[in-house]
Amino acid sequence: MAGAKAQSPTPKVVDEIVAKVDDNIILLSDIEYMYLDMASRGAIGGPNPRCQILQTLITSKMLLAIAEVDSVEVSDVEVEMQLERRMQYFIAQSGGSADALEEYYGKSLADIRDEMRDDMKDQLVAQRMKEQISADVTITPKEVKKFFAKIPKDSLPYFSEEVEVSQIVKIAKIGKEQKQKVEAKLFDIKRQIEAGADFGVLAKKYSMDPGSAKTGGELPGWYKRGELAPEYEAACFQMDVGQISDPVETDFGFHIIQLLERRGNEFRSRHILIIPSSSDLDIDQAVHELDSIRNMVLDEKISFEKAAKDFSDDKLSAPSGGFFLDNSGAKRISVDQLEPTVFFMLDTMQVGNISKPMSFRMPDGKEAVRIVYYKDRFPPHQADLTHDWQKIQQAALNEKKSKAEQQWVFDSADRVYIYIDDKFKHCNIIGK
């Protein structure tokens, strides 16, 4: 613009180490990234937010450092399971397309997994340590009432509209004809291997498990009973070392499996996985099953909650009778926490109604069908002990656990070496 004073570009901050906990470093960029993230969510609070962020990061590094000394570990299986959930979430956020996720990051799924794996393990180890620190922390009804009484009346949380909603889910299974085609393909691959083809080469070529395909189908480490799909484990314990199974169906798809080693109740294996495409799935069969279940509930032959526990394929909601739960585990959930598809379904339903079967895609990408029971609705209201006991109880317990964790930080400060740069000395973190 004419006459405007030229401005110099904003100087770039040179990254630097601002704190260390033993060998674990904290960079200035770590603090700034978290600050910007919190600011974007409107979560900045308190007079010194960067000090609070540094406190959080130092606590996290202390958890990791002391977990190593105390030999607190998580298994590779746990890491891979959580990594898979995280990947499926990202894929779902990308519109259900793995290709879209790869395009966004400019990397393959395998590379994305590899970059996330160490961070995921650190998160799980830190969480395991926190669980140990607060494992014995409990809360009494008297403490809950005392906690609630301390909240100023004008600061009591205001809960938006809440509902009690449950679901019964049937995951669409592959049709009979399509199943035969997939099994025939796996039998052909098995014959090639038995004729001398290399299992690892064919795994890289055909397997649809992006994590293990690049390692020739080999799953990392040793596995015990209960750590993999039951059908997969059953095949491994029935085979001799070196043997290759016939096609095995699990919730993940169809596998042929080779047992590599076994020692007692543990085993190592590799596999080739074929996942049926959506066009191969029999949606109509899932709809038929849910129609039958719905009629049983309407005829009062079974309650919706029992039917969900007995028949639902959704492992997260089935144990609670199909209910969507809030962060505290309560059945009353704010409408803004519901999946958008469920929210819009309720908009067309009356309390007490059970929907007809509706197709949807689960968070892990599986095609499924569900029926939804709109059990109850609660209008917006200010928190009170009568209606919101479970939420208030959880908040009181979280506060008590947080205090226990803070005390642990002070008590454990001498067990690790902590360095804090002079520019953050004013934060007065654990006296440093």
Residues 272-293 pLDDT 10s = 999 887 666 788 889 999 999 9
- The reply to whether 39 and 123 lie within a common domain is yes
Helix locations, 279-352, DSSP H: 283-298, 304-311, 340-346
Report the CATH number that the domain containing residue 338 is assigned in CATH. Answer: 3.10.50.40
Flag whether 425 is in a domain. yes
Tally Cβ neighbours within 10 Å of residue 417.
10
What is the rounded distance in angstroms from the CA atom of residue 235 to the CA atom of residue 213? 20
Query: Which pLDDT does position 5 carry in this prediction?
Result: 38
Q: Which two tokens stand for residue 63?
A: 């958890």
Flag whether 387 is in a domain. no
Report the CATH number that the domain containing residue 416 is assigned in CATH. Answer: 1.10.4030.10
431 phi and psi angles, rounded to 5 deg: 75, 5
Flag whether 46 is in a domain. yes
- The domain in which residue 227 lies consists of 176-280
- DSSP code string of 97-164: -HHHHHHHHTS-HHHHHHHHHHHHHHHHHHHHHHHHHTTT----HHHHHHHHHHS-GGGS-EE--EEE
- The reply to whether 97 and 183 lie within a common domain is no
Flag whether 82 is in a domain. yes
260, 244 Cβ separation under 8 angstroms: no
Flag whether 339 is in a domain. yes
- The reply to whether 201 and 109 lie within a common domain is no
Flag whether 210 is in a domain. yes
Give me the mean pLDDT over the 204-220 stretch.
88
Give me the mean pLDDT over the 354-376 stretch.
90
Flag whether 405 is in a domain. no
250, 229 Cβ separation under 8 angstroms: yes
What is the rounded distance in angstroms from the CA atom of residue 406 to the CA atom of residue 241? 50
| pLDDT band, very low/low/confident/very high, at 8 (cuts 50, 70, 90) | very low
Flag whether 36 is in a domain. yes
Query: Which pLDDT does position 432 carry in this prediction?
Result: 57
- The reply to whether 146 and 89 lie within a common domain is no
- The reply to whether 199 and 324 lie within a common domain is no
